[in-house]
Amino acid sequence: GAGVSQTPSNKVTEKGKYVELRCDPISGHTALYWYRQSLGQGPEFLIYFQGTGAADDSGLPNDRFFAVRPEGSVSTLKIQRTERGDSAVYLCASSLQAGTNGEQFFGPGTRLTVL
Amino acid sequence: QQQVKQSPQSLIVQKGGISIINCAYENTAFDYFPWYQQFPGKGPALLIAIRPDVSEKKEGRFTISFNKSAKQFSLHIMDSQPGDSATYFCAADFSGTYKYIFGTGTRLKVLA
């Protein structure tokens, strides 16, 4: 079946603009995660959803970042007043169930560039 | 205490050789250690994973060695192939948080 898909694959925006990044998890996966990967670094956890609710948003760097998953499937990561330091690849992952028993399947990411 | 330290940063191996990547951690509460493989332009994909109740796990050409007392674990790729050229990330997780702590990655190049 289809894997995790993310759109757009690339997003270029100007400093101060608002962006939305979309994630379509694997069908039936209840857990969804967002990570951010800066150049030459490993992915860094941002937020985790179990169903519709954000179970853990401790990785969001500040209040400019927000994510939703209103129907328990598709999720959108929203970044307000973008800054150049937000430039990174934003990865989404999903798992059948939360926790260490559920392998996290990653999407290809959205490369965000803030000019 | 939340960090996972990974080395080397890059590695060049001849075809057929053994690739070894090392990771170390501090938090003894970690109880799941996956390795992910990432090709350019793609998301990371799970390669192999281990829990601290075993010292070694082998899947095909890939082996994880785990040293609980030293708080270290390593990935061994036997008979390395050019198709193995990718970036490898170790990670750690502990029950109840569901968020992986990733190492900084190792860029492996296997020469034909």
Residue with tokens 């990733």: B102
Q: Is A99 on the interface with B (CB under 8 A)?
A: yes
B95 closest CB neighbour out of A42, A48, A99: A99
The CB-side HSE value for B18 (13 A sphere, CA atoms) comes to 7
Instruction: Pick the closest to residue B2 from B83, B105, B91 (CA basis).
Output: B91
| Shortest Cα distance, chain B CAs vs residue A45, angstroms | 6
Instruction: For chain B, list the strands marked E by DSSP.
Output: 4-7, 10-14, 19-25, 33-38, 45-50, 56-59, 62-67, 72-77, 86-92, 101-102, 106-111
CA A101 to chain centre: 21
CA B54/CA B67 separation, integer angstroms: 9
Q: What is the pLDDT of residue A100?
A: 54
Tens-place pLDDT, residues B15-69: 999 999 999 999 888 888 999 999 998 999 999 999 889 999 999 999 999 999 9
B55-104 confidence digits (pLDDT tens) = 999 999 999 999 999 999 999 999 999 999 999 999 998 765 678 899 99
- A–B CB contacts, 8 A cutoff, strictly below: 62
Among the listed residues A115, A105, A110, A113, the one whose alpha carbon sits nearest the alpha carbon of residue A4: A105
Least confident span in A55-64, A94-103, B34-43, B78-87: A94-103
Contact call for residues A15 and A115 (beta carbons, < 8 A): yes
For the beta carbon of residue A31, count every other beta carbon within 10 angstroms.
20
Of B31, B45, B100, which is closest to A45 when you measure between CB atoms?
B100
Q: Could you say which of B36, B94, B99 has the minimum Cβ distance to residue A59?
A: B99
A42 neighbourhood in chain B, CB within 8 Å:
6, 89, 91, 102-105
- Tokens representing A71? 């129907």
For residue A99, the model assigns a pLDDT of: 60
Which of A35, A44, A48 is closest, CB to CB, to B98? A48
- For B82, list phi and psi in degrees, rounded to 5: -55, -35
The SS3 assignment for A32 reads strand
Residue A19: count of CB within 10 angstroms of its CB: 18
pLDDT of residue A53: 87
Chain A residues in contact with B89 by the CB 8 A cut-off are 42-43
- The verdict on a CB contact (< 8 Å) between B45 and A106 is yes
